[in-house]
Amino acid sequence: MPSALFSTRDALDRLKLNRLNSLLATILPHNDLYHRKLAGFISPLESFDAMEQWPFTTKSELVDGAISGSPLNLTWPVERYTRFHQTSGTRGRPLPIFDTPNDWQWWIDCWKIILDRVGVSSTDRAMVASSFGPFIGFWSAFESIIASGVMAIPTGGLSSEARIDIIQRFSITVLVGTPSYLLHLATVATTMGISTRLLPVRLVIVAGEPGGSILSVRKRLADSWDAIVIDHAGASEIGPWGIGAADGGYLEVLEEWFHPEFLSIESGKAAREGELSELVISTLGRDGCPVLRYRTGDVVRPQWISSNSIAAGESPRVRLVGGILGRVDSMMVVRGVNIFPSSIDEIVRRFPEIGEYQLTIRRKGELDEIEIDVEDSLEQLDRIRQALESSLGLRVIVRQAPSGSLPRTVGKAQRIFDLRPHQA
């Protein structure tokens, strides 16, 4: 299923609306969740405007509704499902996800669009630097790489040193992993006396953390591997919905199969272009475990690219400037200043000498205090403190951490800890 091209927004929206109406015709007679949620609403829809009256779907709703391990939003009898995955549970209980063979093929087809866009071909060899387990992202990437006719090399359970050895011995050209782990992998290679810039890696696809669209993180990855860096976004309960570009700094929604909406963080209503917003997504092709008007919790800034402002051979699209800027539930207010973890990452990653960092917010008396531990090979903390204080407008305590002392993970990294007492 190659990525389609549309000369106008109207043409793209007609395709999307047809796919949404086809999905509704399939699921509404059988899916108890959406049969109940959309009772009284008219389908088929004549425009996407009608969706604005529908109720939202939330992750807490799906998690709380999972009975005996079965997802709440199943359309078919459980015997028709062959794939099990679950979310990481970093913000609560893991959410189980089931997929039918048809839905899994839809995952593969969406990923093929991504791989085609970034030029992955049968001449490549790809390594997925993940421990796998029940998390869907790297499974879907791995199997999609195989389906695209590319040699895919799994490395679950291997050490970082063993992964570097495989990259070198088998001439890996495409790396897939989280931004923080691939930066760590480059550091490990250096300790082994291997220059990652001399390895054959030409393309790095990152996901699982916001770093792929943060310019300072992208630059460090590109410099470390001497490679093109592509950001990707997806979620177990939604699908592989977003792809960045080589020039970076944004994500695009794969609108062929996902319909995005944007809620203003300030007003909760439909957002204006460029406004800080929560991303809401509806899947258009996953009938076994669909989500409609799903509040992702991801904070973004939307930009609509029309047919009048794009290059020949491209389609109108929605661009998320800066990628995923943070989470609605991870925004921290410190002395009246709104802070997202991605903003900390952008500042710290300007310094290539920092191996890892960990930030803690505490309440000291009546005031909040920010402390950050950094593995700085130069041990020159003043420059880091000045950059943080200049960007945040807040006093920051910076401490030196021994090299290699802070935790690393191949999955989503947690570096920020808010230890302030919860307010009633």
- Are 141 and 1 contained in the same domain? yes
Q: At which of 286, 307, 328 does a domain end? A: 328
Q: How would you classify the pairing of strands 337-339 and 294-300? A: unpaired
Taken as a whole, the chain contains a residue count of 424
pLDDT band, residue 412 (cuts 50/70/90): low
pLDDT band, residue 52 (cuts 50/70/90): very high
Q: Give the pLDDT confidence of 117-163 residue by residue, as tens digits.
A: 999 999 999 999 987 778 787 899 999 999 999 999 988 889 999 99
Q: Give the pLDDT confidence of 243-268 residue by residue, as tens digits.
A: 998 887 899 999 999 999 999 988 98
- Are 142 and 268 contained in the same domain? yes
Domain extent for 215: 1-328
Q: Is 352 left (phi over 0), alpha (psi -120 to 50) or beta?
A: alpha
pLDDT for residue 2: 43
Q: At which of 328, 358, 382 does a domain end? A: 328
Q: Give the pLDDT confidence of 13-33 residue by residue, as tens digits.
A: 999 999 999 999 999 999 999
Q: At which of 328, 360, 382 does a domain end? A: 328
For residue 364, is it within any domain? yes
Give the sign of the dihedral formed by CA 321, CA 323, CA 328, CA 333. Answer: negative
For the chain, give the mean pLDDT. 88
Q: Kindly state the average pLDDT of the residues 359-379.
A: 88
For residue 424, is it within any domain? no
pLDDT for residue 424: 37
Helix, strand, coil share (%) of the chain residues, nearest 5: 30, 25, 40
DSSP state at residue 423: P
E strands, 118-267, are 125-128, 151-154, 174-177, 203-206, 228-235, 239-243, 250-253, 258-264
pLDDT for residue 90: 56
Three-state SS for 255? coil
**What's the CA gap between 56 and 285, in Å, rounded?**
18
Q: Say what angle helices 179-191 and 215-225 make with each other, to 10 degrees.
A: 40
Give pTM, 2 decimals: 0.81
Three-state SS for 214? coil
Please state, in angstroms and as integers, the Cα–Cα distance from residue 165 to each residue in 127, 202, 227, 272, following that order. 12, 17, 18, 49
**What's the CA gap between 252 and 241, in Å, rounded?**
8
pLDDT band, residue 5 (cuts 50/70/90): low
**What's the CA gap between 396 and 279, in Å, rounded?**
31
What's the domain count of the chain?
A: 2
Q: What is the largest CA-CA distance in the chain?
A: 66
